[in-house]
């Protein structure tokens, strides 16, 4: 069973190992039960934050949600997001009454200096296929797709296809969809499209975000 590394150097080594790891690829059929997860931190701060920041993580599957409260493990640092958010997100997903078949994560996957962002790492810890969904890519390059729902364009890193831009709604910024654990770019894209329901943000992530923010609001009363 994979654990979250306790520090920066250990995380980098684990990311390098994850990038080399092989696992059975997901071959989705029908409409798999796709969950989403999201974490937020106390309002009013600035900069990268710090270890110990109070955080609230939510997970959603269908109409069911789970939330947990905890603390950030580290400040934010690009490429090392797992130190800050990983355990909180894991706890939220494990809190769901039903185990999902796949998971959408608000983080990158193969779009990462070591090809193993939090969107991939969380899947390895949970033993779940994952796809990352972000508003902006981390390192990849690629022109936006046409302004029509469902339009896509490739996201390429060092000559390798690692994801897609996806226009979920017209006249809105496209989303970056990232290959994660046990998914290639096309499978990740199919998962996100299946869960988008006509909204810009895929429904499982939207519901998880709402649950996390509601928990934060109640705590800050």
Domains by residue range for the chain, with CATH:
33-219 (3.30.2170.10)
**Mean pLDDT of all residues belonging to the chain:** 95
Beta carbons of 111 and 163 less than 8 angstroms apart: yes
pLDDT tens digits for 12-41? 999 999 999 989 999 877 778 999 999 999
pLDDT tens digits for 103-133? 999 999 999 999 999 999 999 999 999 999 9
Angle between helices 81-94 and 118-126 (to 10 degrees): 40
Sign of CA dihedral 67, 73, 76, 78: negative
Q: Of the spans 1-5, 41-45, 73-77, which averages the highest pLDDT? A: 73-77
Beta carbons of 190 and 180 less than 8 angstroms apart: no
Distances (CA, A) of 81 to 7, 96, 179: 11, 23, 17
> Which candidate, 166, 197, 196, places its Cα nearest to that of 179?
166
pLDDT tens digits for 53-102? 999 999 999 999 999 999 999 999 999 999 999 999 999 999 999 999 99
What are 203's two structure tokens? 């429904």
Integer Cα distance of 140 and 108 in angstroms: 10
DSSP-derived 3-state class of residue 207:
helix
pTM of the model: 0.96
Say whether pLDDT at 216 is over 90.
yes
DSSP-derived 3-state class of residue 11:
helix
Say whether pLDDT at 162 is over 80.
yes
Question: Taking residues 205-216, what's their average pLDDT?
Answer: 98
pLDDT at residue number 143: 97
Secondary structure element (H or E) that encloses residue 179, with its range: strand 175-179
Q: How confident is the model at residue 211 (pLDDT cuts 50, 70, 90)?
A: very high
Output 66 or 46, whichever has higher pLDDT.
66
> Which candidate, 37, 42, 74, 36, places its Cα nearest to that of 55?
42
Question: Within 10 Å of residue 69's Cβ, how many Cβ atoms?
Answer: 15
């Amino acid at each position: 069973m994979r654990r979250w590394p306790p520090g920066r150097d250990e995380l980098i080594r684990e990311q390098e190992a994850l990038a080399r790891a092989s696992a059975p690829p997901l071959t989705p059929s029908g409409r798999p039960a796709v969950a989403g997860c999201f974490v937020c931190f106390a309002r009013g701060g600035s900069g990268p934050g710090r270890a110990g920041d109070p955080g609230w993580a939510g997970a959603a599957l269908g109409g069911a949600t789970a939330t947990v409260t905890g603390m950030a493990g580290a400040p934010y640092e690009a490429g090392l997001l797992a130190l800050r958010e990983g355990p909180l997100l894991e706890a939220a997903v494990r809190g769901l009454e039903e185990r999902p078949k796949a998971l959408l994560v608000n983080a990158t996957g193969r779009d990462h200096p070591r090809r193993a962002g939090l969107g991939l790492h969380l899947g390895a810890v949970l033993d779940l296929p994952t796809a990352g969904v972000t508003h902006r890519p981390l390192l990849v390059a690629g022109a936006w797709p046409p302004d029509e729902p469902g339009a896509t364009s490739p996201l390429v890193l060092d000559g390798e296809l690692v994801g897609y831009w996806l226009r979920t709604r017209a006249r809105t910024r496209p989303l970056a969809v990232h290959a994660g654990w046990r998914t290639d770019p096309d499978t990740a894209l199919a998962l996100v499209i299946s869960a988008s329901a006509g909204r810009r943000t895929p429904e499982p992530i939207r519901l998880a975000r709402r649950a996390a923010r509601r928990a934060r609001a109640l705590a800050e009363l």
